[in-house]
Amino acid sequence: MKRKILYIVIIIFAVGIALSIITNFQPVSEIGNSPDIAKIPIMNTSQTKVMNTTQTMGIIIVPYFGAENPQWGTIYQLADHYPGTIKYAIINPCSGPCDIPLSDDWQLIISKLKNKNIKTLGYIFNNSESIANIDYYMKRPAIPTDGIFFDNEGSTNNLINFKQYADYIHHLEGIVYINPGYNYPQVIDYVKSGMADVANIHEFGIDKPDYITGNYDVPPSKISVIVGNVYNISDMQTELTEISSKGVGIAYIYAKSYDILPPYLNEEIQKINRPKLLVPS
């Protein structure tokens, strides 16, 4: 008899626990600390596309002066003040490679630019294209450049011959930047084929309006223009606005020559950076 009573007590106790669990159970969506899945907004693909239709412009600096020139300090200061705006800087020690290895002074400049997230490009004119000259910048120095700036490449259709150099640089994980200086029909083929990472389609003065036609069908970051003979801030700002509206993602506006930074370089970078100057992609 006592054993039966004990069994009954155990059963009643077990039933009580079970009822307590059932009574206190709540669905996950009703627990205060858990998210209500029905209330989580879902962004559709059309919203995503709208958000990604613009991107910021950048600048390529063309500093054709020596490694000892104090103007490098200006570039460093502006890079610190407007991080990420200066995308590229050309390294041009002797209008191309020198007869001697790249000096420690030049390698120090390359190092400082790299530390400021500026991609460095060794200068080679198209009639001096060779593996040896690429190695001068990208393999032989202890601190190599990030790529090569091929001046005048693309001014004629040289895709077949140029492929060996583009492939070699890309094998080194470098950047191929060509400067035909004009929007020749074949230039876009360099970019679309993948041989050139960036093509500069204009290197004339402000009085040459045919340098931006738009509709390049490539990302803005792959097209650049360089405009000279711009002597005041107002004209510089007008040029940048026009350039950005045509889907060009990289630019450099200068005044007199490449051996002197434009007097409005701070305002030029500021125009691009504050607020961010956007280009349609």
| 165 and 214 part of one domain | yes
Is residue 122 assigned to a domain? yes
Is residue 219 assigned to a domain? yes
| 108 and 133 part of one domain | yes
Tell the residue number behind the tokens 């601190």, with chain if given. Answer: 143
Is residue 52 assigned to a domain? no
Domain that residue 154 falls in: 57-280
Total domains, the chain: 2
| Predicted structure pTM score | 0.80
Share in percent of the chain as helix, strand, coil (round to 5): 40, 20, 40
| Per-residue pLDDT of the chain in tens (281 residues, 90 and over written 9) | 444 444 444 444 444 444 443 344 333 333 233 333 222 232 332 333 333 445 689 999 999 999 999 999 999 999 999 999 999 999 999 999 999 999 999 999 999 999 999 999 999 999 999 999 999 999 999 999 999 999 999 999 999 999 999 999 999 999 999 999 999 999 999 999 999 999 999 998 776 656 677 667 899 999 999 999 999 999 999 999 989 888 899 999 999 999 999 999 999 999 998 666 666 66
| 162 and 222 part of one domain | yes
CATH number for the domain including 210?
3.20.20.80
| 103 and 173 part of one domain | yes
| 32 and 69 part of one domain | no
| 166 and 211 part of one domain | yes
Where would I find the H helices in 69-174?
Answer: 71-81, 104-115, 131-138, 159-171
| 114 and 25 part of one domain | no
